[in-house]
Amino acid sequence: MNGARGNRQRASSFGRRGEWAALALLVLKGYRILARNFLAPGGEIDLVVCKGRTIAFVEVKARPAVETARTAITDQKRRRISHAARAWLGRNRWATGYNFRADAVFVAPRRWPEHLENAFELAMS
């Protein structure tokens, strides 16, 4: 692999491995996986998980260093996740009485993934 195509493939593979690491961490912490890579017009959610009466919409950021992963969730990304969360709830009316939050999992090579609850505020209206 070389050039731009090879870089995209490596980044995509790294991101998929990061999502698997995040998924494993959340399951070990007692979360139940409700959805992976949920797509809605104008937005996407990497993971939708549930623990008790809380549903978390999780953004996974895999980067070469945790410090850069922590800064990778932009305002535009927050809006897209909020939009997708509203769409997910529209398709899953059973979840109406639950608490909702936006979490993040930051993944870097040779480090345990870092789960941050309430990483940012969801715009649910």
DSSP string computed for 100-111: EEEEEEEE-TTS
Tokens of 105: 């999992």
Give this prediction's pTM.
Answer: 0.86
Mean pLDDT of 33-48: 95
Task: Kindly indicate whether the domain formed by 3-120 is annotated with CATH number 3.30.200.20.
Answer: no
pLDDT of 6 above 70: no
Sheet architecture: strand order including 114-120? 32-40, 43-51, 54-62, 99-107, 114-120
Q: Which residues pair with 107 in a beta bridge?
A: 62
Answer for the pair 38, 84: CB distance below 8 angstroms, yes or no.
Answer: yes
pLDDT of 20 above 80: yes
pLDDT, tens digit, 9 for 90 and up, residues 63-114: 888 777 888 888 999 999 999 999 999 999 999 999 999 999 999 888 899 9
Lowest average pLDDT, out of 9-13, 24-28, 56-60, goes to 9-13
Q: Which of 40, 54, 34, 36 is nearest to 82 (CA)?
A: 40
